[in-house]
Structure 1
Amino acid sequence: MKSQECRSIGKWISVLYRQSQIYMNNELRPYGLNSSEYVYLINLAQYEGVNQKYLSDMLIIDDALTTRVMKSLERKGYLIRKKSLEDKRSYNVSLTEKGKEIQPIIMEKLHYWTEILSKGLNEGEINYIIEKLQLMSKNALLITKGEKMEGT
């Protein structure tokens, strides 16, 4: 039974996820940020004035959690939320100067974490792992959205 447990993909993904959260929480604490907030900041860099709902859907994160994080980041001065002109129930969000200044710091932390995780792997192995993780994510999303997978 022990060897079966060690071969659980979910277990090892969970371990990596939790360790990543611990690492990012420790690294971002001096900036008043945590692991649930930085992902929004790095994605907002690509989109100026993006709709909050769109951001939530793109990141595949619950709308209610996104709203809580957006309010927190706004209070901390990292972003601005403005009512959408098209839909008064939704918000468009954009980075403040403080939000833009934290970008390279977050990216540096993420690059270092990637170096740690990929130590001992060559470029081909890294690309293979990323490709397979993307496939597993796609499979997981299909199932959790109630869709049938091909071949099942």
Structure 2
Amino acid sequence: MVRFEHANLVVKEIQPTLDFLLTAFPEWQLRGSGQGKWGTTERHWVHVGDDEYYITLNDSAEGDIREIGGIQPGLAHLGFVVDDLEALVERLWQQGYTIDILGMQHPYRKTVYYTDPAGFQFEFLEYCSDQPEQRNQYGGETGSFKFNVRSLQGESA
């Protein structure tokens, strides 16, 4: 068996990304935290998630994160499947986060993208089918991506 367990992100400050993740996933918790050395740099770290999966956040990042819309190497986004996309969007909106990208219309899934305060992009998607051949259907999208969306109704900023 193979399964993805965690992602490890380096941020300038832990708290803004931690707040974003705990807003998106209120069932998650701070699993652990500590201090360590990365090369010659002392840094703090946290594990946030559930008993199965988590994200590690390390502080003391230096420099700029890759441009989300650019073609530089690096992480483009992390994707998460959720049961209730509208509830997630509402929680994030209540805390002042706005949708970066509203995905194209698809018969079997809905997607939204957010960028957290550290500059990492997260995709959240809800499947509208339990059938793998429908969930994993490529093509069939209609419309276009909408950017800087204020709500799921598709109003652009």
TM norm structure 1: 0.25
Please state which structure has a larger fraction of its residues in strand: 2
Please state which structure has a larger fraction of its residues in helix: 1
Larger radius of gyration: 1
